[in-house]
Amino acid sequence: MTLTSATLVAGRRVGDIVWSNATLADLIDALATTRSDRAAVTDANGTLTFRELRAGALRVAKALRSAGVRRGDSVGILMGNRAEWIVSCFAAQYLGATVVAINTWYTSRELGYVLAHADVRVLIMTRSFLRSDYAAMLDSLRPWHESIPSLQRVVVLGEPTDDAMIGWHDFLASGDKVPDGEIATMQAAVRPDDIAFLLYTSGSTALPKGVRLAHWGLLKNCHDIGERQHLTEDDVLLLPISLFWSFGCSNAMMAALTHATHIVLQEHFDAEKAVALIEQFRCTALYGTANIMRALLDLPGLGDRGILTLRTGLTFGSAKFMHEVIDRLAPEMCHVFGLTEGYGNSTVTDVDDPIDKRLNSTGRVLPGSELRIVDPATEEILPSGREGEIRVRGCIMAGYHKDPTTTSKVFDNDGFFRTGDLGVLDEDGYLHFRSRLKEMIKTGGINVSPAEVEEVLRAHPCVSEAFVTGLPDAIRDEAVGAVVVLVDGASLSAEALTAHCRASLSAFKVPRRFQVVPKDALPLTTTRKIHRARLAELFE
């Protein structure tokens, strides 16, 4: 369908019915029609209007089509926060393709797994970003027809390193002969329940899981998130959160676009540069993890800066931390609970909520979803005031990619998603997050699978056993800690263990603390299994 100006993103006046029949390409069409010359996306290279965003997306769509991309194919994007990320993302949506948002911190091992598992047909990337050399990573994965058999084309922003890659401008030119009507026909075939995004998140196993997110959920849930923030077309959102992360692409980006909000991208976070962008563009909204907010709050002379134009946004943390963010950074900042499987957030505080609710809860469930607290042992639905597992039904993923077994396990008999998190609903329906039922470590707002880190550690010839746990951290909420048992007679320093992990793991997954212990010092349950809840005690 095509949205009309009467139904498009008119601040807080959009009804739920709009999103149930729309696709992401429909949204861009409507924005280009009704907000044509308003600023849409700004990065270090300039600003695109909504009309220019659509024109750019359509040109990339033609180039993707010339590369053979069809409805249901996967298009990978690997780069920092750039306008080309967003343009390429929506180009794929015009064809009914699925965007695979690739973590910029991946090592070669991780990159190869995701590209193959997602069946990526075309990869659009920068040659490098920060300390990662993606061209070298791809070279190490050759021959691609064996390691990544689906991969047909690698597009490089800048000069390609060899004949197997194509430069951005040559790639765009390759689609110039594709008729407009062909793209329009493909767009018309896209359905709201088609998969728009495939986002990889750490799971309870050593391999990441691909979360399948549909058009309708990205539009509806993210529109409702923006409603809680009271976003309008007069707001300007600073986005330092990585676009590959759910908090970036399936939350911040979509919440902004469903409200015609101007997005200012920061390619990678730097506190001083973030303040400069806020001052330059008079930003009124900000998405940030706890460590991003902390870095801004710790800047000298913060109160004298133009950063005080900030009004709203999303973050998470303790009541004390939220009070500081609201008091010193953005008076209408919203607190959230959510996960990738739930299209970013399932509960969000409203800027009009009483301050006590905004500080001490993560808000009420969003429209179109249901939330209940369940005793995971008995499956009893618990009343307000009782702590149990948080379960959500409604705006929830279409399932894990190529993993029906795990998908079936995470839904209960009533169709509620088992979040693995513990919380309490108060008598007013506000959720109070308590802790994680499952073992996942959340460091700086990003999930880390202990099993993946343990697998890498155990690959070291001097390591007999390894167990990974979360440790309290004032900045990151949790830090990754590793308890290691060495092979008899072996000696290994923390520095050597760190170097070993860095060779195979993204930086955020590398343990910050190591504790080498004899095997008989490991805490055990009565059934002689590792007592993971007590691993942190070994660091005391």
Q: What is the 3-state secondary structure (H, E, C) of 69-104?
A: CCCCCEEEEECCCCHHHHHHHHHHHHHCCEEEECCC
Buried b (16+ CB within 10 A) or exposed e, 398-434: ebbbebeeebeebebeeebbbbbbbbbbeeeebbbbe
Instruction: Please report the domains of the chain, with CATH numbers, ordered by start residue.
Output: 53-190 (3.40.50.980), 214-436 (3.40.50.12780), 441-539 (3.30.300.30)
d(CA 104, CA 508): 11
Determine if residue 489 is left, alpha or beta; phi over 0 gives left, psi from -120 to 50 gives alpha, anything else beta: left
The model carries a pTM of 0.86
d(CA 190, CA 210): 21
Angle formed at CA 25 by CA 20 and CA 29, multiple of 5 degrees: 105
Nearest to 499 by CA among 510, 489, 488, 514: 510
Structure tokens at 345: 């957030």
Q: Which residues of the chain have pLDDT under 50?
A: 1-17, 526-527
Say if CB 505 and CB 456 are below 8 A apart.
yes
The residue assigned the tokens 């597009």 is 155
d(CA 485, CA 491): 10
Say if CB 152 and CB 122 are below 8 A apart.
yes
Cα-Cα-Cα-Cα dihedral of 33, 285, 395, 190, to 10°? 30
The residue assigned the tokens 């504790």 is 515
User: What pLDDT score was predicted for residue 118?
Assistant: 98
- pLDDT by residue (tens digit) across 427-462? 999 999 987 777 778 888 888 888 889 989 999 999
Say if CB 424 and CB 386 are below 8 A apart.
yes
User: What pLDDT score was predicted for residue 13?
Assistant: 38
User: What pLDDT score was predicted for residue 439?
Assistant: 77
d(CA 224, CA 20): 13
User: β-strand 312-315 against 332-337: which pairing, if any?
Assistant: parallel
d(CA 13, CA 383): 34
User: What pLDDT score was predicted for residue 18?
Assistant: 58
DSSP 161: S
